[in-house]
Structure 1
Amino acid sequence: MEISGAMDFHCEEAMVLGRGMRVLTGALIVACVVLVNRGASNGAPSARSLPAEAVKDVVPNRVMTWNLCNPCEESNADRAAEIARYAPQVIGLQEACARDVEKIRDHLESLHGLVYHVKYGTVLRNWGRCGGALWSPGAYGQAILSAAPMTDVVNVEYPHGGSEDRGYMAVTTTVGGRSVRVFNTHLAERRQEAVRADQTGVLAAAVARHERAIVLGDFNAVPDAAELAGMWKLAVDADPRCRPSATGDCEPTTDWQSKFDYVFLRGIVPMGHGVHPTPHSDHHLLHADLRIT
């Protein structure tokens, strides 16, 4: 009887302890859930959530041009954040490594809710600029990101690149609800005026075939430089005050206070623009809002 009673007591005690452990385990689970949720509310969002500053939509009549600076040790997440701040419909990038552009596009979608298509205007493969394997260096050149699909992609390398291969790319996409031809280029480096003049001739001939066109890029020349005359005959700057003369009032787009970056418009009306210095490049972001008739 004493043995049986002892066994009954221990079994009952074990059952109580078992219930207690289940209660304790449940309490711990609840506490963990509370802590995780509290951590998320304090700035640690889950992998699927967007930050509070997520843009989620583009400005449909806005275009942008930006020379990324290369080689530069910059974060592609920071670059994406700069672009997302203005959320253009179309972005033309220069000095762009294909691998970096892909990451920028991914960050724009995952961190800011902005979804872009991308096309590349590779002019060379360069390990020093874009990394990769020595036998397979990364692609380098221009890129266009567009919120709308792009068609009729053309990638042209200039016959004379100067000290480094250069070229232009062109796509047909939608800006302001209308189909338009968009060009993106990067001309030869400074102190290579004759080379840039040849390049501008090639580019201008292509632009002239379209009644309506947007030309983005880093032209490496100030507005009154002789090599830009061919572009000024065809198009106007997105800033109506900027003209190729001493009376023009052109905002600088570089850290050395020169205007090298342009949004040239052919058959399109400028509605506003902005020049935005950034710590992530020696070129400023330049955006323009347009009315396409």
Structure 2
Amino acid sequence: MRRLLIAVLCVLLVASPTAAAQSETPGRAGVPLTVMSYNIHTGIGVDGRLDLARVAADIAAAGADVVGLQEVDVHWMARSEWRDQAAELAAAVDMAVYFAPIYDLDPAEPGKPRRQYGLAVLSRHPVVAAENHWITRLSTQVPNPTPEPAPGFPEVVLDVRGERVHVYNTHLDYRADPAVRRAQVTDMLRVLAEDRGEARVLLGDFNAAPDAPELAPLWTELVDAWAVANPSSPGPTYPATAPAKRIDYVAAGYPARVRDSRVITTGASDHLPVLAELTVTRRHGSPWDGPLPDHRLRYGTAHQAGLAAEHVDRLVPDVEAGVLASPRAFPGGVVLAARNGVIVRHAAVGDALRYGHDGAELPPDQRIPMREDTIFDVASLSKLFTTVVALRLVERDLIDLDAPAAGYLPEFGQNGKQDVTLRQLLTHTSGLPAGLVLGSYPTVEQRLAAVYAVAPRSPPGTRYVYSDLSLIVLGKVLERVTGRSLPDLVAAEVTGPLGLRDTTYNPPQELRPRIAPTQHGGARGLIWGQVHDSTSWYLGGTAGHAGVFSTARDLAVFAQMLLNGGRYGDRRVLRTDSVRAMTTNWNAAIPGADRGLGLDVNKPAFMGLLATPYTVGHTGYTGTSLVIEPDSRSFVLLLTNRVHPTAAGPPTNPYRHAVADDLARAVLER
């Protein structure tokens, strides 16, 4: 919150009910919270009658603790009989209220109350603070309006049995042109970013479908409660008489986690309200800072891992859904999930090879089925191996992450890059562009020279741009300092100590039958057993950003090593403080750019319900992903061949999200 509107609260808050002050049952892992989003259409139902009592009855019957109301009149006009709908509803359901006007106009007659229209938040829990934020709006109250900042995005901070919860309520622009909604989402994310790390719940009428491009940035910060709870159901909310589209939402971010969601049938408005049951997890600092486990992986049951079996059983069907989708998301995949060192699911679905050297689909008897030990080009998961090698050298005082990269690799210091540090390379804040086309340079040396000559696009440390070039440069720093190749360093520092026998660069020909092919096309034909990433390929298949081939089982050992604080069995790969540095969010000052050293941090877009401020992981362009959630000591891997035979297919994130949700639910409902 940027400021507290205490004076407004004193006027608008009614007494909080005693239920909110009841203590939580000792030993519970979280605090339950039921929230509702309800566009009340100013109390006018589908029958055209104004009847606030019906709205109040819906709220009371739902048992909601917090309600976000849209289209609320306060002495606005004759349609609502000039009544204060916010105060009346609050009194009817015995809840506190904060009203946030979008429009605040002079009274119709002298001496009458001001005319207001906007949104309200009702709460059974004590309200600590509230603010009516401004976002872009296209006014309906003036002729020829232009988009400009206006109020009507309320934020209410609640004390939910000792836990602070930020509740926001919104009503996005209704017009077909998404431009204003796009600007509103940007504005809301700026407000939400101020409270990152706190429990955040966004309620509202978004006037757009869940897959609308303008809403996509929201799903990088929050999860859509309905989509999490009912992934196979459309859940339409409008119009109430014959619901055809879902435009009303509850969205949440850790430590507020979704348990269930439903749409309520009613005729009290032209919208149907959405209810969600959440759990606000009680936090005790970063799990990476506390005692870490010392597990060796073993196969076992959901019960042995402390997981709910019904959700573990969803993992394989949710991956199979990608194989069976039309269009197909990927020919095949391998999923592996574990908790407390127990692998509860390790399964393969679909095909590793489905398309031949001419790009045509093969007959079933010529395909190669996916296996649990299929070897994948893991693409950008390679960055994690480069990072671990870098931290090993830090531990030996061979490099300093806060020293300029040019101090180790002088040729990189040209064109204004002399101050770029190794830490900035690892956190993608170096100012380097995302990539560089290298095919026009005839030799590896000339290609590297082109990388070193690239001019920064922004001053180092000021902007986040996910950059393959950053990790390419880091890999070359490691080679220069040690006099050894990156594959040799990864073998000596990571794969050798961990016993990762199937993890390598440029795999030998004899492993080809176990390798999942990737793309077909161009001069390279069917890429099979060679790195898919063209930049890495032009650099010999061994670059800091891509080039590693591995299996789900090997990557599981790598993930467990991190969860163990850098140790696996009797081998220590990293010091515990190095793991803490690797998993710390170094980009907290840059909204939406959460990154550790080489790792993504808190990315709901692919981490789903596992996303917390401490969750780490990474994705790979070929269709791979790893998510590690330290508080529950769990992780999930999804390896697919989604670029076989083309990279033009559907996105993989929905399936990454689904398996992460399955594991999160298995933890939450154990």
TM-score, normalized by the shorter chain, greater than 0.5: yes
CA distance in 1, matches of 2:108, 2:123: 29
Q: Which residue of 2 aligns with 1:140?
A: 117
Letter matched to residue 88 of structure 1: A
Q: How far off is 1:227 after superposition? A: 0.9
CA distance in 2, matches of 1:171, 1:250: 29
Q: Which residue of 1 aligns with 2:53?
A: 77
Pick the aligned partner of 1:203 from 178, 181, 188.
188
Letter matched to residue 65 of structure 1: S
1:262 aligned counterpart, secondary structure: strand
Q: How far off is 1:163 after superposition? A: 4.1
Q: How far off is 1:71 after superposition? A: 7.5
Could you give the per-residue CA deviations for residues 6-59 of structure 1, whole angstroms, max 9, x where no partner exists?
Answer: xxxxxxxxxxxxxxxxxxxxxxxxxxxxxxxxxxxxxxxxxxxxxxxxxx9689
2:165 aligned counterpart, secondary structure: strand
Structure with the bigger percentage of strand: 1
- Of stretches 209-218 and 196-205 in structure 1, the one that deviates more from structure 2 is 209-218
- Of stretches 96-105 and 260-269 in structure 1, the one that deviates more from structure 2 is 96-105
Pick the aligned partner of 2:247 from 260, 277, 282.
260
Q: How far off is 1:221 after superposition? A: 0.5
Letter matched to residue 226 of structure 1: P
Q: Which residue of 2 aligns with 1:221?
A: 208
- Of stretches 73-82 and 182-191 in structure 1, the one that deviates more from structure 2 is 73-82
CA distance in 2, matches of 1:173, 1:224: 30
- Maintained 8 Å contact 1:60/1:89: no
CA distance in 2, matches of 1:250, 1:192: 23
- Maintained 8 Å contact 2:201/2:252: yes
Q: How far off is 1:258 after superposition? A: 0.8
Unaligned residue ranges in structure 2 (runs of 5+): 1-17, 21-30, 75-83, 142-149, 282-670
- Indicate yes or no: 2:34 matched with 1:62: yes
Q: How far off is 1:265 after superposition? A: 0.7
Pick the aligned partner of 1:289 from 268, 277, 299.
277
**In structure 2, do the counterparts of structure 1 residues 134 and 248 end up closer, same or farther at CA, with 3 Å as the change threshold?**
farther
2:65 aligned counterpart, secondary structure: strand
CA distance in 1, matches of 2:151, 2:41: 15
Q: How far off is 1:137 after superposition? A: 4.8
Q: Which residue of 2 aligns with 1:120?
A: 99
Q: How far off is 1:162 after superposition? A: 5.1
Tell me the TM-score normalised to structure 2 length: 0.32
2:270 aligned counterpart, secondary structure: coil
Seq. identity, %: 31
CA distance in 1, matches of 2:133, 2:39: 18
- Maintained 8 Å contact 1:172/1:179: yes
CA distance in 2, matches of 1:137, 1:71: 19
Q: How far off is 1:282 after superposition? A: 1.0
Pick the aligned partner of 2:138 from 161, 168, 190.
161
Q: How far off is 1:176 after superposition? A: 6.4
Q: Which runs of 4+ in 1 moved over 6 A?
A: 56-59
Letter matched to residue 186 of structure 1: H
- Of stretches 247-256 and 232-241 in structure 1, the one that deviates more from structure 2 is 247-256
Unaligned residue ranges in structure 1 (runs of 5+): 1-55, 109-114
CA distance in 1, matches of 2:116, 2:167: 21
- Bigger RCO of structures 1 and 2 (CA < 8 A, at least 6 apart): 1
**In structure 2, do the counterparts of structure 1 residues 188 and 166 end up closer, same or farther at CA, with 3 Å as the change threshold?**
farther
Q: How far off is 1:180 after superposition? A: 0.7
**In structure 2, do the counterparts of structure 1 residues 248 and 231 end up closer, same or farther at CA, with 3 Å as the change threshold?**
farther
Q: How far off is 1:160 after superposition? A: 3.1
2:54 aligned counterpart, secondary structure: helix
Q: How far off is 1:60 after superposition? A: 5.4
Pick the aligned partner of 1:91 from 67, 71, 91.
67
Q: How far off is 1:153 after superposition? A: 1.0
Q: How far off is 1:273 after superposition? A: 1.1
2:41 aligned counterpart, secondary structure: coil
Tell me the TM-score normalised to structure 1 length: 0.69
Q: How far off is 1:80 after superposition? A: 0.6
CA distance in 2, matches of 1:152, 1:117: 12
Could you give the per-residue CA deviations for residues 241-279 of structure 1, whole angstroms, max 9, x where no partner exists?
Answer: 479xxx864311112411111111111211111101211
- Maintained 8 Å contact 2:238/2:271: yes
Could you give the per-residue CA deviations for residues 130-184 of structure 1, whole angstroms, max 9, x where no partner exists?
Answer: xx63555531101001112212211023233354666311011034652211100
**In structure 2, do the counterparts of structure 1 residues 274 and 248 end up closer, same or farther at CA, with 3 Å as the change threshold?**
closer
1:155 aligned counterpart, secondary structure: strand
- Maintained 8 Å contact 2:36/2:66: yes
CA distance in 2, matches of 1:208, 1:65: 21
**In structure 2, do the counterparts of structure 1 residues 198 and 86 end up closer, same or farther at CA, with 3 Å as the change threshold?**
same
- Maintained 8 Å contact 1:176/1:290: no
Pick the aligned partner of 2:260 from 265, 269, 272.
272
**In structure 2, do the counterparts of structure 1 residues 60 and 241 end up closer, same or farther at CA, with 3 Å as the change threshold?**
closer
Letter matched to residue 59 of structure 2: I
1:259 aligned counterpart, secondary structure: coil
**In structure 2, do the counterparts of structure 1 residues 250 and 141 end up closer, same or farther at CA, with 3 Å as the change threshold?**
same
1:156 aligned counterpart, secondary structure: strand
CA distance in 1, matches of 2:128, 2:138: 26
Letter matched to residue 278 of structure 2: L
- Maintained 8 Å contact 1:253/1:260: yes
Pick the aligned partner of 2:165 from 158, 163, 180.
180
Pick the aligned partner of 1:251 from 235, 241, 246.
235
**In structure 2, do the counterparts of structure 1 residues 252 and 63 end up closer, same or farther at CA, with 3 Å as the change threshold?**
same
Aligned residues: 225
1:198 aligned counterpart, secondary structure: helix
1:104 aligned counterpart, secondary structure: helix
Letter matched to residue 264 of structure 1: A
CA distance in 2, matches of 1:162, 1:233: 28
